[in-house]
């Protein structure tokens, strides 16, 4: 029983990582590209770094939302089906 709980915890962390990875990568790549652009042009405008990142992160979230929802629904169904195993 303890092994199942530990495996469930590990799977929870993996799913959280998988779900956050596209958004985090989009923000990282956008931040890197904007930083390189700012360094080469010597433009140090603060809004130039935030606005494109926010827009890109929102677009990536909208595009990956069906996959995220399916992943979360499958995981939730799996956990709900495991409830009787942990009760008895």
Residue 86 resides in a domain: no
> Which pLDDT score, from 0 to 100, does residue 43 have?
83
Look at residues 12, 17, 3 and name the one whose alpha carbon lies nearest to residue 78.
Answer: 12
> Which pLDDT score, from 0 to 100, does residue 49 have?
81
pTM of the model: 0.79
Residue-level pLDDT, tens digit, the chain, 88 residues: 888 889 999 999 999 999 999 999 999 999 999 989 988 988 888 788 889 899 999 999 999 999 999 999 999 999 999 988 888 7
Look at residues 20, 23, 24, 9 and name the one whose alpha carbon lies nearest to residue 75.
Answer: 9
Residue 6 resides in a domain: yes
Number of domains the chain is built from: 1
How far, in Å, CA of 58 to CA of 36, rounded?
Answer: 22
> Which pLDDT score, from 0 to 100, does residue 69 have?
97
How far, in Å, CA of 22 to CA of 51, rounded?
Answer: 18
Residue 41 resides in a domain: yes
Domain span at residue 52?
2-81
């Amino acid at each position: 029983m303890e092994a199942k709980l530990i495996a469930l915890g590990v799977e929870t962390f993996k799913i959280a990582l998988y779900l956050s990875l596209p958004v985090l990568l989009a923000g990282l790549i956008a931040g890197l590209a904007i930083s390189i652009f700012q360094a080469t042009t010597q433009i140090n405008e603060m809004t130039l770094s935030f606005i494109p990142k926010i827009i890109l992160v929102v677009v990536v979230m909208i595009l990956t939302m069906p996959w995220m929802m399916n992943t979360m629904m499958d995981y939730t169904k799996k956990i709900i089906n495991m409830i009787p195993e942990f009760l008895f």
